[in-house]
Structure 1
Amino acid sequence: MNQQSLSAFIWSVADLLRGDYKQSEYGRIILPFTVLRRLDCVLEPTKAAVLAELADKQAQGLNPEPFLLRKAGQSFFNTSPLNMKKLMGDQDNIRENLHSYVNAFSPAVRDVFERFEFDSMVERLAKSGLLYQVTEKFAQIDLHPDVVDNHQMGLVFEELIRKFAELSNETAGEHFTPREVIRLMVNLLFIEDDEVLSKPGVVRTIYDPTAGTGGMLSIAGEYLAEHNPQARLTVFGQELNAESYAICKADMLIKGQDVASIAFGNTLSDDGHPHKTFDYMLSNPPFGVEWKKVEKEIRKEHESQGFNGRFGPGLPRVSDGSMLFLLHLISKMRPIADGGSRFGIVLNGSPLFTGGAGSGESEIRRYVLENDLLEAIIGLPTDMFYNTGISTYVWIVSNRKPAHRKGKVQLIDASGMWQKMRKSLGSKRKELSESHIDEVTRLFGQFLESEQDGKPISRIFDNTAFGYRTITVERPERDDAGKIVVGVKGKQKGKPQADAKLRDTENVPLSEDVEAYFKREVLPHAADAWIDHEKTKIGYEIPFNRHFYVFQPPRPLAEIDAELRGVVGKIQTMLAEVMG
């Protein structure tokens, strides 16, 4: 059964719910039942052996748990003699039996169903007289990994979440990232380490602080399994949405990962992995979402811990918390002495340039660039994400840059690399093809400047190219007679007094001498001006689009005139025909 038909089959359950449930409530039933059937199918081949082992170890007075895990061949088990097909044999007691079956799972799985609020959902289905019919629907489909592999299952969950999000007027993009975007990020993350990752028995950690349903972690694992089946990727994550967390945790259980490494809660205010660092990290934090709810905790950490905490460099404006996730990931980087780290994060355009010198955003960019952490920024096409059509950018950040990248930043404009989707999904109308992913990966891997059809698509800059000094230019205050007013007391005695109304600022690139700039750009227009050096601030911004702008000269005037004459002539001819 392919992904589309499987999704359609599961979606048909909605026909049973129609009338008793609002459309926005369908997902609360279909998603947990899909997870339950998946787990049920995974454990089916070892069911008899697990039950026999349980009886044996209980008779010996031993704790059966480690033995049951071994017999199940999974990181979870179920001690009930029931399964979903056996539940069908007792229609009158379906509610009690279903509760009993779910409660017989090992603790990690029970937590998954608690996040889904499964018990109260079962009670409501029972009161509606729908519990048996819904359970029967799911008992009919085979979701064993031999029939529906992990990759397909991930796609099924994504499609279901997207459909339910559309019905309930939520944003599906809060839950997952398009798979081709993740593949690109994973490629960029691992390409410089191919040699290390190909060694037998290598073990690496990867972390996603906004894990959603676990798509980024899954695709990273798939990549490494393809390139080196002997390599092992240990995954860590945190997720705020209860349903997404439950799906992510269930997916990790089936794949044999330690689900204790998937934390629940708000990453910014309650770090689920304090004091832990990772080899690789990936994140697609929510775009333009304010952090007012957790402002108290974040400001407290910023002020009390400074650079010993996560937010030492500065805080962005409360209206957009995406740069807080950037700082959070930086704090999770392994020290260079322990091998260092690399991470990829998807951000909108705002973190590139919002905020002048001295602002929180500028100070964060300053910290990243002055500490030589930024390897590259890749501009993606618009209309790539399910919940927004805005321009997005992938930042690749590392504290272990290879020698040829040190002190440099690569900008890659991939905004023109896309193909139209056969069918739009929310705001997502475009997708990256395999060839587009390969091309961006090649440009990044080769670290070369490149053009396509006369337009730059890859450019390399010194870190300092994005820095500037904001200087304050003062002009003297003058009295009614036009005479310069001077100070009469203290340090200002005898010195010209600045006129606040004439005060101005100039941004001087870090690569330029301030005095030389001032003499060239300011004094010819204001000979009485001076710089107040005490007010000078250093700022950083990354004007991405400006670096890829290609000037298109206007057409010759004669050509435009000839075209206009031709149009006017056609109009006059048409009018003559009408009048005639």
Structure 2
Amino acid sequence: MGQAIGAGVLKYKSLIWRTADTLRGTGVKESDYPSYMAPFFALALVESRIKRLRTEKMAEFESETGTPFNQADANHIQWLQINIQNEGYGYHPDIAQLGVGLAELVKVKTGNFYVQVESFLKQFDPETKRLLGVDYAPGQPKFLDIKGIALDLSSRPNDPLFTFCAGAGDTPGWAHVDLVEFDNSEVTTLEEHIKRMWADISAETAGEQYTPKDLIALACALGIEARRPNTNSSQICDVYDMACGGGNFLFAAEEALRKEFPGLSVRVRGQELNDALYALAALEARFRPDAQIAWGNTLTHDHYLAYKSGFIVANPPYGVDWKAFAATIKTSNCGRFDASRMPPTSDGQLLFLQHAVFHLEENGVGAIVHSGSTLFSGDAGGGESETRRWLFQEQDVVEAIVQLPKNEFFNTGIATYLWILNRNKPESRKGKVLLINAETCFKKLKKNLNMKNCEIDPANRTRILDCFKSFTDSDISRVMDVDDLLYNKVSLELHRHDEEGRAIQKSTAIDAAKVKSIVVDGMHYSTATGGVQQSASSNVGPSGSTGSSSGPLTAPVDSTDGSAKVFVDDFNGKVRSSEALSIELLDGSVWTMNREEHRIQEAKAGGVVNEHGLGVLSVKAKVAKSKAGENIRWDISVDPFMESDTETIPYSSRKDEHGNSLNDKLIADFIAKWVRDPSTIKAKSVGSEINFNRVFPKLAQIRASKDLLLEIALVDESLRAIEEEMSKFLTKSK
């Protein structure tokens, strides 16, 4: 877990950070300092590990042979070289054989210092050179690009490369950074603090967030507790981080497992896309037993496809677009993803979650940090909701979700959540998920670290861990049945009725030949003689038009001027936006509809009014061509008033004593109770979401009305005083 930083490490944290002062005035932007410092930090790390190993191997030689190690003896040097190379830490002849590194190099500057640095770097073994970025072919990744950084600095005025390495006056350079005294764990702690400070000043890629050590400690504690029932000292446990960055989360999990289960054999695997972070993690992995870091896009090129893990940790990017490689993922047949579980290309978080579940071994657990969108984004049947349903219901692999304090991260204040996965949940926890609201489980920092203003201190970490252990309801925890995290989305077609249960039951066409006029919001489109005709100099339209004394309600027009279509478009537009619509028939009866309420009335010639309830009076004009020209024809009918509706209904996976689904009964009972009008189910699907605010409601503090009235009176008094002052000022200015 995240270590408390000791005085010695703290000294070097300050020393390393002060090397950045040598970049001031060189033209390097402050936000770019990390890209200049990271390669030299990696160089100091490699150099220190080789020097430590050199000392250990020399002592080992003397212990085994009983002979003092002789630097001048070629056999002794050969033995030392072979044994250092066999460890796989990296190799440099000057460092390994003579203990000579950057500190000695700056003391013998001759001519072009860049040439000296380049010559020194080229003596490293091929893998170290690859990661440091010493030798790379055109078009190949440069990783830490130490060669490019050194060349850039040496080409600037006054050659700041030498000062960056050697320091100036009281300002230290990288030659002063000697990490030999620190073991791997201490170096990891130091690196964690340095990278956090780099993250504060650099413009991080969207969605990529450095994981704070207090969150790492909580994640490791919960993950270990989830794994504890299925762990014994004779086992092998593989730790895996699919988006490992510089390796802090991954290596902290490794150390936490080793500390908690001393006899456990722990192996480490990670993958990272960012060149520089990958190189830092890969370099450190060389100094750890059985640790490997792969480079590349985890979603498209999984280097550990056949690998199953016992403990997965990750803080993958939030809200990062994956459109550029969507085709590759959607056509993948490796088993990690499914077409029904594809999230929108604007956010790939749930892809990482599916990837993690794929890699869990039979007793595997996971602790993965995500933003809030993974809990509730997407509708039932969509990729995001389907992923959650798959996780909760089909896989039953989510043991707990912890809502973290706000402003927990350095560069974002968004709400974040820790998902605890468990492939082998205890029997009593199967079909259940524990929600922990740890939003208030923090201690305020004395000084903000960029946007981070709080931390999950040991006391609050214990409080959260105790909730997870007890797996019961408390003031900050709720045990949820998986069914409670699911819901039915039911699409209904409603046949609307009025308050007395009346409605048009079926569609009835009205013969246009029997229509005298159509009234749209008071405007009459009449056919006093049975038809509507357009002359060459007038438009088809309201009353006053003449036509034949028989036949359908049509309007023969000049087929060349296009006026029929103009009329039809105008008329249909008026009907669609109308508030009132009436059809007057030749027999004296009138059908009317109030569009707001959809009430249909039929007034007979004798004054009798029939209330038909709710319905739709439909009128549509169309252009019909004939030899005589273009005619306007009419479709007129009285139809049932049908509306679509969607209901969100609780879900149940249980069955009754006869084996019938209770979910169907739940839906039927809900509709019978809450849906007044007759309805038909057109479609239904099962969705999944988690709303922490609903599970842990916040009580609103409502102020007393007398206090509000008093405050309003004070505001009124203040406004009157301002008005009086303005009035006096205006009077005086006249």
TM-score by length of 2: 0.67
| 1:8 aligned partner, one-letter code | S
What 5-or-longer segments of structure 1 have no aligned partner? 452-456, 489-496
Given that residues 310 and 328 in structure 1 are in contact (C-alpha distance below 8 angstroms), is that contact kept between their aligned partners in structure 2?
A: yes
Verify: 1:186 aligned to 2:220, yes or no.
Answer: yes
Tell me the percent identity. Answer: 28
Given that residues 226 and 365 in structure 2 are in contact (C-alpha distance below 8 angstroms), is that contact kept between their aligned partners in structure 1?
A: no
Equivalent position of 2:684 in the other structure: 536
Equivalent position of 1:78 in the other structure: 92
Verify: 1:399 aligned to 2:423, yes or no.
Answer: yes
> Quick one: which of 227, 251, 267 aligns to 2:298?
267
Equivalent position of 1:322 in the other structure: 349
Q: For 1:294 and 1:107, how far apart are their aligned partners in 2?
A: 31
Question: How big is each residue's C-alpha offset from its partner over 1:399-446, in whole Å with a ceiling of 9 and x where there is no partner?
Answer: 210111011111111111111112212221111110111111110011
More helix by share: 1
Equivalent position of 1:459 in the other structure: 478
Given that residues 238 and 310 in structure 2 are in contact (C-alpha distance below 8 angstroms), is that contact kept between their aligned partners in structure 1?
A: yes
| 2:435 aligned partner, one-letter code | L
Superposed, 1:390-429 pairs within 5 Å as 390-429=414-453
> Quick one: which of 196, 209, 214 aligns to 2:247?
214
Deviation at 1:44, TM superposition (A): 1.8
Equivalent position of 1:246 in the other structure: 279
Equivalent position of 2:155 in the other structure: 127
> Quick one: which of 6, 12, 16 aligns to 1:6?
12
* RMSD of aligned Cα (Å): 3.5
Distance change in 2, residues 1:475/1:198 (3 Å) = closer
Equivalent position of 1:454 in the other structure: none
Q: For 1:462 and 1:323, how far apart are their aligned partners in 2?
A: 22
SS in 2 for 1:272: coil
Equivalent position of 1:68 in the other structure: 84
Q: For 2:461 and 2:89, how far apart are their aligned partners in 1?
A: 34
Verify: 1:91 aligned to 2:109, yes or no.
Answer: yes
Verify: 1:507 aligned to 2:648, yes or no.
Answer: yes
Q: For 2:479 and 2:149, how far apart are their aligned partners in 1?
A: 55
Q: For 1:203 and 1:343, how far apart are their aligned partners in 2?
A: 16
Deviation at 1:256, TM superposition (A): 3.7
Deviation at 1:293, TM superposition (A): 2.0
Deviation at 1:472, TM superposition (A): 1.4
Distance change in 2, residues 1:472/1:571 (3 Å) = closer
Distance change in 2, residues 1:342/1:486 (3 Å) = farther
After TM superposition, the structure 1 stretch with the greater mean CA deviation from structure 2, 124-133 or 462-471, is: 124-133
Given that residues 466 and 540 in structure 1 are in contact (C-alpha distance below 8 angstroms), is that contact kept between their aligned partners in structure 2?
A: yes
Q: For 2:145 and 2:718, how far apart are their aligned partners in 1?
A: 74
Deviation at 1:324, TM superposition (A): 0.7
Distance change in 2, residues 1:566/1:503 (3 Å) = closer
SS in 2 for 1:538: strand
Distance change in 2, residues 1:47/1:94 (3 Å) = farther
| 1:228 aligned partner, one-letter code | F
Equivalent position of 1:21 in the other structure: 27
What 5-or-longer segments of structure 2 have no aligned partner? 1-6, 59-69, 134-142, 167-172, 510-637, 653-662, 725-734
After TM superposition, the structure 1 stretch with the greater mean CA deviation from structure 2, 231-240 or 567-576, is: 567-576
Distance change in 2, residues 1:22/1:134 (3 Å) = closer
Q: For 1:501 and 1:293, how far apart are their aligned partners in 2?
A: 43
Given that residues 403 and 417 in structure 2 are in contact (C-alpha distance below 8 angstroms), is that contact kept between their aligned partners in structure 1?
A: yes
Deviation at 1:11, TM superposition (A): 2.6
Deviation at 1:546, TM superposition (A): 0.4
Deviation at 1:45, TM superposition (A): 4.4
Q: For 1:211 and 1:498, how far apart are their aligned partners in 2?
A: 63
SS in 2 for 1:397: strand
Distance change in 2, residues 1:171/1:431 (3 Å) = farther
Q: For 2:36 and 2:265, how far apart are their aligned partners in 1?
A: 34
Superposed, 1:10-409 pairs within 5 Å as 10-23=16-29, 24-47=31-54, 56=75, 67-70=83-86, 75-80=89-94, 82-92=100-110, 94-114=113-133, 115-128=143-156, 129-136=159-166, 137-144=173-180, 146=181, 148-170=182-204, 174=208, 176-194=210-228, 197=231, 199=233, 201-258=234-291, 261-301=292-332, 305=333, 308-334=335-361, 336=362, 340-370=363-393, 371-409=395-433
Distance change in 2, residues 1:435/1:506 (3 Å) = same
> Quick one: which of 655, 677, 693 aligns to 1:545?
693
Q: For 2:314 and 2:422, how far apart are their aligned partners in 1?
A: 14
Q: For 1:153 and 1:510, how far apart are their aligned partners in 2?
A: 51
Distance change in 2, residues 1:569/1:161 (3 Å) = closer
SS in 2 for 1:112: helix
Q: For 1:29 and 1:385, how far apart are their aligned partners in 2?
A: 24
Equivalent position of 2:705 in the other structure: 560
Deviation at 1:156, TM superposition (A): 3.5
Deviation at 1:287, TM superposition (A): 1.4
More strand by share: 2
Q: For 1:151 and 1:244, how far apart are their aligned partners in 2?
A: 18
Deviation at 1:109, TM superposition (A): 2.0
Distance change in 2, residues 1:385/1:311 (3 Å) = farther
Deviation at 1:363, TM superposition (A): 0.6
| Bigger radius of gyration | 2
Question: How big is each residue's C-alpha offset from its partner over 1:80-137, in whole Å with a ceiling of 9 and x where there is no partner?
Answer: 3542233134201643443333333333322220211112222223334233332222
Q: For 2:506 and 2:26, how far apart are their aligned partners in 1?
A: 81
| 2:674 aligned partner, one-letter code | E
Question: How big is each residue's C-alpha offset from its partner over 1:509-528, in whole Å with a ceiling of 9 and x where there is no partner?
Answer: 11351111111010xx21x3
| 1:560 aligned partner, one-letter code | S
Distance change in 2, residues 1:563/1:139 (3 Å) = closer
Given that residues 174 and 212 in structure 1 are in contact (C-alpha distance below 8 angstroms), is that contact kept between their aligned partners in structure 2?
A: no
Question: How big is each residue's C-alpha offset from its partner over 1:24-76, in whole Å with a ceiling of 9 and x where there is no partner?
Answer: 3322222111221122122224548689799659989xxx9864335xx5633
Deviation at 1:169, TM superposition (A): 3.1
Q: For 2:18 and 2:389, how far apart are their aligned partners in 1?
A: 53
Given that residues 176 and 215 in structure 1 are in contact (C-alpha distance below 8 angstroms), is that contact kept between their aligned partners in structure 2?
A: no
Given that residues 180 and 431 in structure 1 are in contact (C-alpha distance below 8 angstroms), is that contact kept between their aligned partners in structure 2?
A: yes
| 2:330 aligned partner, one-letter code | R
Q: For 1:316 and 1:164, how far apart are their aligned partners in 2?
A: 32
SS in 1 for 2:308: coil
Verify: 1:519 aligned to 2:672, yes or no.
Answer: yes
Deviation at 1:196, TM superposition (A): 5.4
Given that residues 241 and 313 in structure 2 are in contact (C-alpha distance below 8 angstroms), is that contact kept between their aligned partners in structure 1?
A: yes
After TM superposition, the structure 1 stretch with the greater mean CA deviation from structure 2, 159-168 or 110-119, is: 159-168
Deviation at 1:299, TM superposition (A): 1.7
Equivalent position of 1:473 in the other structure: 492
Alignment coverage as a number of residue pairs: 537
After TM superposition, the structure 1 stretch with the greater mean CA deviation from structure 2, 435-444 or 40-49, is: 40-49
Deviation at 1:315, TM superposition (A): 0.6
| 1:118 aligned partner, one-letter code | I
Distance change in 2, residues 1:67/1:355 (3 Å) = same
Q: For 2:274 and 2:376, how far apart are their aligned partners in 1?
A: 30
| 2:433 aligned partner, one-letter code | V
> Quick one: which of 467, 473, 488 aligns to 1:443?
467
Given that residues 495 and 642 in structure 2 are in contact (C-alpha distance below 8 angstroms), is that contact kept between their aligned partners in structure 1?
A: no
Deviation at 1:142, TM superposition (A): 2.1
